[in-house]
Structure 1
Amino acid sequence: MTQPTPPTNPIRPTDDEARALAQSLIREARFGALGTLDPDTGAPVVTRVALGPGPQGELLTFVSSLAVHTTALLQDHRAGLLLGEPGTKGDPLTHPRLSLQVEAVAIHRDDAAFPAMRDRWLSDHPKSKLYIDLPDFFFFDLRATSAALNGGFGRAFRLTPADLT
């Protein structure tokens, strides 16, 4: 009697093409879907957040202390972040996307890194000039701890933080 063939692992070995695609998705992202856990209920919450590069290549989001995801990140620094948007044509699932697990590090106004982050943020998000100096806003540096890249149909990869820099 023959044994059933075990399913083939759909995850490909990470290569330079996958690294370059993941790095491009991060570098070009100006928004993403951020998943956190509601501190009151423990239920998952997904919100859209603005994103941008920091002066040292960090992945930043600029948040209000009034937002539910901010409260959640201050209590549990772990989050999920989805980057990549479907194109205008074709099946949305064939377009590249990157799912990151991140550790969110708060950068408040009194942090020495804040002024350079503020300047860089304004260069990429000029409309944020309307609220960037409001006292309840600050940055989170979203540091990747792992990632899953779907580069399109049949192109799945697991990536490490080193693959993303």
Structure 2
Amino acid sequence: MTTRPENILRPTDSEARSLARRLLSHARFAALGVLVDGAPHVTRIGFGMTPDFTPLTLISDLALHTQALRTAPTCSLLIAEPPDKGDPLAFPRLTLSAVAEFAEKTDDLLAAWRSDHPKSALYLAFSDFHFVRFRPLSGALNGGFGKAFHLTADDLTQPVAPE
């Protein structure tokens, strides 16, 4: 029987923080995990960042996950953009633990969302669609094989400098 190392996580460094922030900045979709009647429920959502670098989505009252977030706002997001080729598990991904907070449709959120999700313009006018901000609690970054990191909320809340 093989024994597992005591701590498989690497010390969090600036490279890990930068990679997590890049994943957050560039992702346009995410998998959202919520609890529905005590059972896990995962769905794909549109994803973006607010001007103040807070994770954001636009969801409908008709969606099961919307009602779940209103009942129990603690949730999880898987943020990753798998490549066109290669093994998706060999590429970076971030699991974010967060608290969902429903937000008003302000001009800055509308503009930010439209710029990253132009095909969603129709939904923005519907009264049953709402913005949800995700306040990060922590993150689990898999930066590729053998590159696992734990991230704090502070590690995840600063924008990436333009490349």
Give the TM-score, by structure 1 length: 0.89
Alignment match, 2:23: 25
Alignment match, 2:139: 147
| Contact residue 114 and residue 120 of structure 2 kept, 8 A | yes
Among 79, 86, 90, the residue aligned to 1:90: 86
For residues 119-144 of structure 1, give each alpha carbon's deviation from its aligned partner in whole angstroms, at most 9, with x where no partner exists. 21112111111121111011000111
Change (3 A) 1:86 1:124: closer
SS at match of 1:119: helix
Alignment match, 1:68: 64
SS at match of 2:83: coil
Give the TM-score, by structure 2 length: 0.90
Q: Give 4+ residue runs of structure 1 displaced > 6 Å after superposition.
A: none
> How many residues matched?
156
Alignment match, 1:43: 39
**Unpaired segments ≥5 residues, structure 2:** 159-163
SS at match of 1:127: helix
* Structure number, greater radius of gyration: 1
For residues 53-86 of structure 1, give each alpha carbon's deviation from its aligned partner in whole angstroms, at most 9, with x where no partner exists. 2122221100101101100001111001001132
How many percent of aligned residue pairs carry the same amino acid? 50
Alignment match, 1:10: 8
RMSD over aligned Cα atoms: 1.6
